[in-house]
């Protein structure tokens, strides 16, 4: 039975990142990718060193599961137990080997790097789109022998497989019990409890990842504080989330894919990630925008600008290696002058 609006929505008068007041930015936003039928308003933080956007009112905790009725973090494909980075052609093969070489020199992964990829990996340092693609492969984390890794919102465990293959002891949690069942079939150590009820001991993990998770949480600060508690001294929290200050949001406004109303309760940016992690007690915080989601987000935003509804998997990557990399190169040049340009915000926080 449908709940009356008063029970399904709660007022969120202040910014979930910094606690300041906001002003109305959008009215009557609709779910244009999944099935929720209600209309939503979004506020923007008036604190210029934060500038988070958030739904106000937002869904109540009781109403949250209904928003995810057809929102899957799992697919029905056959169960794969190995991480996949299969090169599409010879150019991709050389790039793949150069990425491995970069990860060897910069982050301590892999042994026995062949000469040519070893030399080419030096260019990856200079080229942000390739460098970020490589860094995202290890979630910006240096190799830690037998390091303990927690993936919060692990879905069916793709990130865990990647990290296990790199030598990490991986553990995952997710609210999606179907995704968790698939992850279990892959032999992964996963649970459908939330991070608070798991009650991990203090100082338990070397690395915690929240990849496209904090924008969904009713109280992101509480979860980041819990991550701080369960990280070892010197351990790292890595947050990856849509960037509300990127070029896509400026260009497409309410059609920007990153809004994903109403599942995204708030939209952070590098500044507001830094703000919230600093408040929680992290000492060394690097926050920046990453090009990793640019192609998908900009493609889907252009579709939303022309269509009332779209599918989450509607995306055709540029098939030509040359055209694809030329586009990335031009975007990277712009990124040297406009640091918040890209569609994904990342924070790497050390305890
Ligand atoms: Zn704020």
Residues 225 and 125 in one domain: no
What was the pLDDT predicted at 11? Answer: 95
Ligand 1 centroid–CA 17 distance in Å is: 5
Domain assignment present for residue 295? The answer is: yes
Structural contact between residues 205 and 141, judged by C-beta atoms closer than 8 angstroms:
no
Domain assignment present for residue 1? The answer is: no
What was the pLDDT predicted at 206? Answer: 98
Residues 187 and 311 in one domain: yes
| pLDDT tens per residue across all 351 residues of the chain | 344 455 689 999 999 999 999 999 999 999 988 877 889 999 999 999 999 999 999 999 888 888 877 776 655 554 555 555 666 677 778 888 888 999 999 999 988 788 888 888 888 888 888 899 899 999 999 999 889 999 999 999 999 999 999 999 999 999 888 889 999 999 999 999 999 999 999 999 999 999 999 999 999 999 999 999 999 999 999 999 999 999 999 999 999 999 999 999 999 999 999 999 999 999 999 999 999 899 999 999 999 999 999 998 899 988 888 898 899 889 888 888 888 999 999 999 999
Residues 164 and 232 in one domain: yes
Residue 272: which CATH number? 3.40.50.150
What was the pLDDT predicted at 160? Answer: 96
Ligand 1 centroid–CA 228 distance in Å is: 20
Residues 191 and 248 in one domain: yes
What was the pLDDT predicted at 3? Answer: 43
Residues 54 and 104 in one domain: no
pTM value is 0.92
Its domain, for residue 21, covers 9-61
DSSP helix/strand/coil, 214: helix
Domain assignment present for residue 27? The answer is: yes
Domain assignment present for residue 175? The answer is: yes
Residues 117 and 174 in one domain: no
What was the pLDDT predicted at 124? Answer: 84
Residues 171 and 80 in one domain: yes
In 141-246, which ranges are continuous DSSP H helix? 158-165, 177-185, 195-198, 220-230
Q: Which of the 8 DSSP states describes residue 261? A: T
Distances (CA, A) of 294 to 225, 258, 283: 29, 11, 29
Question: What is d(CA 269, CA 52) in angstroms, rounded to the nearest whole number?
Answer: 7
Residues 104 and 209 in one domain: no
Which structure tokens are listed for 199? 């009650």
Ligand 1 centroid–CA 219 distance in Å is: 13
Residues 230 and 129 in one domain: no
Residues 176 and 235 in one domain: yes
Instruction: Write the burial class of residue 57 (CB in 10 Å: 0-12 exposed, 13-18 middle, 19+ buried).
Output: middle
Ligand 1 centroid–CA 276 distance in Å is: 9
Ligand 1 centroid–CA 273 distance in Å is: 10
Residues 265 and 315 in one domain: yes
Looking at the structure of the chain, the number of domains it has is: 3
Residues 235 and 112 in one domain: no
Of 103, 101, 123, 130, the C-alpha closest to 113 is 101
What was the pLDDT predicted at 87? Answer: 62
What was the pLDDT predicted at 84? Answer: 57
Ligand 1 centroid–CA 60 distance in Å is: 20
Ligand 1 centroid–CA 16 distance in Å is: 7
């Amino acid at each position: 039975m449908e709940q009356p609006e008063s029970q399904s929505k709660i007022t969120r008068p202040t910014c979930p990142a910094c606690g300041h007041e906001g002003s109305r930015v959008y009215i009557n936003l609709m779910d244009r990718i999944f099935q929720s039928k209600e209309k939503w308003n979004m506020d923007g933080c008036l604190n210029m060193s934060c500038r988070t956007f958030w739904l106000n009112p937002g869904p109540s905790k009781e109403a949250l599961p209904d928003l995810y009725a057809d929102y899957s973090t799992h697919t029905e494909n056959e169960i794969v137990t190995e991480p996949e980075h299969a090169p599409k052609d010879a150019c991709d093969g050389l790039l793949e080997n150069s990425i491995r070489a970069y990860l060897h020199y910069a982050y301590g992964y892999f042994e026995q790097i062949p000469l040519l990829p070893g030399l080419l990996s030096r260019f990856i340092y200079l080229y942000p789109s390739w460098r970020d693609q490589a860094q995202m492969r290890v979630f910006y984390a240096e190799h830690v022998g037998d390091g303990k890794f927690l993936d919060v919102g692990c879905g069916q465990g793709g990130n865990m497989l990647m990290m296990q293959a790199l030598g990490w002891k991986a553990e995952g949690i997710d609210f999606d019990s179907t995704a968790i069942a698939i992850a279990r079939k892959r032999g992964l150590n996963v649970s459908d409890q939330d991070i608070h009820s798991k009650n991990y001991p203090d100082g338990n993990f070397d690395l915690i990842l929240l990849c496209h998770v904090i924008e969904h949480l009713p109280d992101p600060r509480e979860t980041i504080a819990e991550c701080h508690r369960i990280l070892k001294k010197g351990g790292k929290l890595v947050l990856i989330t849509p960037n509300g200050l990127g070029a896509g949001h400026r260009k497409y406004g309410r059609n920007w894919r990153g809004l994903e109303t109403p599942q995204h309760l708030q939209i952070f940016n590098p500044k507001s990630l830094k703000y919230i992690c600093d408040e929680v007690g992290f000492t060394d915080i690097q926050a920046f925008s990453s090009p990793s989601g640019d192609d998908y987000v900009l493609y889907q935003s252009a579709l939303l600008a022309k269509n009332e509804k779209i599918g989450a998997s509607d995306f055709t990557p540029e098939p030509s290696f040359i055209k694809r990399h030329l586009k990335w190169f031009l975007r990277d040049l712009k990124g040297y002058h406009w640091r918040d340009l890209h569609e994904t915000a990342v924070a790497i926080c050390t305890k």
